[in-house]
Amino acid sequence: GAVVSQHPSWVICKSGTSVKIECRSLDFQATTMFWYRQFPKQSLMLMATSNEGSKATYEQGVEKDKFLINHASLTLSTLTVTSAHPEDSSFYICSAYPSGGPYEQYFGPGTRLTVT
Amino acid sequence: DAKTTQPNSMESNEEEPVHLPCNHSTISGTDYIHWYRQLPSQGPEYVIHGLTSNVNNRMASLAIAEDRKSSTLILHRATLRDAAVYYCILRDRNSGNTPLVFGKGTRLSVIA
């Protein structure tokens, strides 16, 4: 099956700093990628839809100026958490559909962010 | 997408079959039934999907009720590696590249 990678797999940063998370589709092109957030013992919550070459679409309640998304190519989307705070500590997961099929969403392994 | 209902948790003994139920009484005729699972500290992974007929693949089987208002994911022989949260998700076949919406899923524990 198709592979989606994320980097880093875990990161610790200090409050007030920014951190960038990369999501790559390794063996397929994806015009659309998605970013989810998952808190402990909870389900995945969609944060935003990343579109190659255009602005991301954010879900209600997600601050677009805090969670900057850039989808610069058909294989790379980045999520930057700006001015991170401890409440931003979470498991961030990206996913993508291969352009042109198949009809299955592929997920990255996730990035564990801890803000101290 | 229509709503699904799953038990919060289930437990199984290793090497025994596991039947994970999902109710979707408001399913429409064009909704596919998808199952994904999430192993601890990993992203979700696709398990299986179907429309009307039962489906089998190397990971599991999907049994769909005749009225399509419920389905069951069957793991034929549970291993410790199958301990995960299993999500049953309905998606309209015309939904294109829209994101999956996750409910709470069923947390499966496998006992050695």
- In tens, the pLDDT along A59-108 reads 999 999 999 999 989 999 999 999 999 999 999 999 998 876 656 789 99
pLDDT for position A81: 98
Contact with chain B for residue A78, Cβ under 8 A: no
Residue B97: predicted pLDDT: 80
Question: In DSSP terms, which residues pair with A76 in a beta bridge?
Answer: A24, A73
pLDDT digits (tens, 9 = 90+) for B16-64: 999 999 999 999 999 999 999 999 999 999 999 999 999 999 999 999 9
pLDDT at A101: 62
Given this model, what pLDDT does residue A6 score? 98
A31 pLDDT more than 90 = no
User: How many contacts does A have with B, using Cβ atoms within 8 A?
Assistant: 47
pLDDT exceeds cutoff 80 at A14: yes
Distance of alpha carbon B73 from alpha carbon B67, whole angstroms: 16
Cα distance from A31 to chain B (closest Cα, Å)?
9
DSSP-assigned states of every residue in B10-38: EEEETTS-EEEEEE-TT--TTEEEEEEEE
Number of other residues whose CB lies within 10 A of the CB of residue B47: 20
Distance, in angstroms, between B69 CA and closest chain A CA? 22
As given in the structure block, the two tokens for residue A19 are 């951190």
Nearest to B42 among A36, A46, A109 (CB): A109
Q: What integer best gives the mean pLDDT of chain B?
A: 94
Return the biggest CA–CA distance within chain A: 42
| CA quadruple A46, A52, A57, A58: dihedral sign | positive
Give the C-alpha separation, A82 to A85, whole Å: 9
Average of pLDDT values for B81-88?
A: 98
With 90 as the cut, is the pLDDT of residue B93 above it?
no
Gap between the Cα atoms of A48 and B101, Å rounded: 12
